[in-house]
Structure 1
């Protein structure tokens, strides 16, 4: 009998920011829970021809408060609020999740409302350190982590090795309640030959609801994604790649394309301590601004204090370059934390 991977299991259950899926509650039960992403860091920005800008501060990156309720063997619901309070800004409250779920079988689950999108939450489950940094597609602004619409998921085979997820949604994400002329569509197909590995293909097509009102869309954005990952109780290793057309050109006349890749790894040194690292490269404009480039890296140590508290000492480095060879570098060092209650 294979050993389960407890850290991976916790990360998987936290995909929707709640401890467990509402469909796993006893019928009639309501559960309240919450998760906070906090950091206390020193940040320095350097730009070509400009003086250095640095400061130290505390950020509330995310505060999720969840209400889960199970109505019957089939139907359940989740509401998740999301508050962000970044340095020098006012807090931003949002309604991240608000959906009703029908769990009809392993082959078909339906969610109606604002629910997690197919790709991003799945990658975060395998990479395992969402509280430290957003994933590559979030940094590239390919859709949102949650969106209003219809979402379906399930497994094609009885063994549960082939999974799918699809959504027809507004494209504006949960942060903006607006719709465009056409809905956005996101699809993911994953092959998990065992509990420790996965290969996934994904696609996104839409306009991110930018064509609302009298605004006329000149392009429709498309992206294609690939992820391969492996994880057990000692290691995580994985990577993802995307290729996209017109991500930032919905309302602009000229076409453009972009691509990016990300690799990550972590090693559990002890049951409490892990070392982790990641590197991203993003080319936002290979046709119109081929010199533009965005690189990001981090490395650090994590302490899993208990099931409610994880802390990580991290150093981050990022650099952005544009067609004029202007360069901005960002260095950040400090402590990141995820608190669950």
Structure 2
């Protein structure tokens, strides 16, 4: 542009000089000056046109560059959208494949709505048992070490509709007459032995472990406040306490541990939750012999419970009354009177949250083991327990039981039991606990879930240490 202006300036000066010269000389004709001027003007026009063309080309190039940049941005957005769509498709593919495979699976009629569950209590431990300070020996001795499966439950649930469902739960346990820890005793005589021969009745024809039906019921859930079960099902008290206690795989609750109650029986069970779960209840009309012993009797037994739960606090009261399946036709006491009625009163109170649990249980029983005897008896017992979750998968726990099993007939006999330990939960379905247990029978023998402790009037001690656990699926 500067060169162009210099040229134009020079041309102008030359024109002025020529005009000046023409005026002075007045000899040369004017048409020569006009021709030169026109030539210069034409040259200026050509240069201007060239500059305009260059400016236009530059503007076109700028516009094309902007358009190319916009096109590139749009292409980038389309590429990102395509990648996102590809990622979503890749994530959806397994679900679609899984759904497709599921549709190809052969379906067995009637199995829709069926689920299978299981639970196993196991331990590997060392036991020391002494009666009167002397270790027990021989058949039935509790001393030694080994692995044991205390219980194994296998359950099948089926939902027929929103109202009706069913459950069957099998229980693998030691045979009748054997404790959870006692060794099998070789029978001293076989069936049909000569009169007068001693026969270990509990062990004749009973080998190893039994496979029992613990629960088998049809359920009608009218609404959360009214559920009816027909058959063998959980009873109101012991399963409720086990749920609050949380360490059933370590030990039975106090009434169950000393056989002053059971967890399941045959009958009709009505239960439900009220006020959004604030209150709950259950009442069971049952045979009274437990889930392993179904009998026809002249009367039925009744067990019930009412409970409340509010912001971590819980409390419950319950009771039991009946003949415990002994009221068969013609059964009377040896003095001709009617059989006694066994009864039990229960109470539980406590608090639990994500950090810790604490609770206490009390029971009072009357004639529990004296339905068919002329003599009467009473029992009192309590249990306190607690646990603390000090880490995500770790907890510490402890418990203490005190029971007077025979306040009238053997008032000096007492049972004192405690356990404590630490538990690890590697996954949600497995619990492993290092546990120490100690049970002391004072002034006599006491039958427990761990075997008979003590003998006659001398009492005994039972200590166990080991790894206890449960597996659920």
- Alignment partners' CA distance in 2, 1:265 and 1:38: 22
Tell me the equivalent position of 1:188: 305
Q: Deviations over 1:254-273 (max 9, x none)?
A: 11111100000000010111
- Alignment partners' CA distance in 1, 2:260 and 2:341: 12
User: Runs of 5+ in structure 2 lacking a partner?
Assistant: 1-110, 138-142, 175-179, 185-207, 333-337, 445-455
- Alignment partners' CA distance in 2, 1:161 and 1:70: 26
- Alignment partners' CA distance in 1, 2:117 and 2:405: 38
Would the aligned equivalents of 2:382 and 2:402 in 1 still touch at CA under 8 Å? yes
- Alignment partners' CA distance in 2, 1:124 and 1:60: 19
* 1:52 CA drift (Å): 4.4
Would the aligned equivalents of 2:327 and 2:339 in 1 still touch at CA under 8 Å? no
Map 1:237-248; keep pairs closer than 5 Å: 237-248=358-369
Instruction: Give the secondary-structure state (helix, strand or coil) at the position aligned to 2:415.
Output: strand
Tell me the equivalent position of 2:323: 207
- Alignment partners' CA distance in 2, 1:331 and 1:180: 41
- Alignment partners' CA distance in 1, 2:329 and 2:417: 36
Matched, 1:221 2:357: no
Would the aligned equivalents of 2:133 and 2:460 in 1 still touch at CA under 8 Å? no
Tell me the equivalent position of 1:147: 265
- Alignment partners' CA distance in 1, 2:240 and 2:173: 22
Map 1:88-103; keep pairs closer than 5 Å: 88-89=183-184, 90-103=208-221
- Of structures 1 and 2, the one scoring higher in RCO (CA 8 A, sep 6+) is 1
- Alignment partners' CA distance in 1, 2:376 and 2:144: 39
Would the aligned equivalents of 1:180 and 1:207 in 2 still touch at CA under 8 Å? no
- Alignment partners' CA distance in 1, 2:296 and 2:146: 36
* 1:57 CA drift (Å): 1.4
- Alignment partners' CA distance in 2, 1:51 and 1:230: 40
Tell me the equivalent position of 1:160: 277
- Alignment partners' CA distance in 1, 2:434 and 2:256: 22
Name which of 115, 118, 122 aligns with 1:31: 115
Would the aligned equivalents of 2:323 and 2:339 in 1 still touch at CA under 8 Å? no
Would the aligned equivalents of 1:234 and 1:269 in 2 still touch at CA under 8 Å? yes
* 1:162 CA drift (Å): 1.4
- Higher Cα Rg, which structure: 2
Mean Cα deviation higher: 213-222 or 171-180: 213-222
| TM-score, L = length of structure 1 | 0.88
- Alignment partners' CA distance in 2, 1:229 and 1:333: 28
Mean Cα deviation higher: 177-186 or 306-315: 177-186
Tell me the equivalent position of 2:168: 79
Tell me the equivalent position of 1:302: 423
Tell me the equivalent position of 2:159: 70
Tell me the equivalent position of 1:19: none
Tell me the equivalent position of 2:408: 287
Tell me the equivalent position of 2:251: 133
Instruction: Give the secondary-structure state (helix, strand or coil) at the position aligned to 2:277.
Output: coil
User: Runs of 5+ in structure 1 lacking a partner?
Assistant: 1-26
- Alignment partners' CA distance in 1, 2:278 and 2:349: 14
Matched, 1:313 2:445: no
Instruction: Give the secondary-structure state (helix, strand or coil) at the position aligned to 1:137.
Output: helix
* 1:224 CA drift (Å): 0.6
Would the aligned equivalents of 2:128 and 2:135 in 1 still touch at CA under 8 Å? no
Q: CA RMSD in A?
A: 1.6
Paired positions, count: 313
Instruction: Give the secondary-structure state (helix, strand or coil) at the position aligned to 1:164.
Output: strand
Would the aligned equivalents of 2:245 and 2:385 in 1 still touch at CA under 8 Å? yes
Instruction: Give the secondary-structure state (helix, strand or coil) at the position aligned to 2:146.
Output: strand
Q: Which has the higher strand share?
A: 1
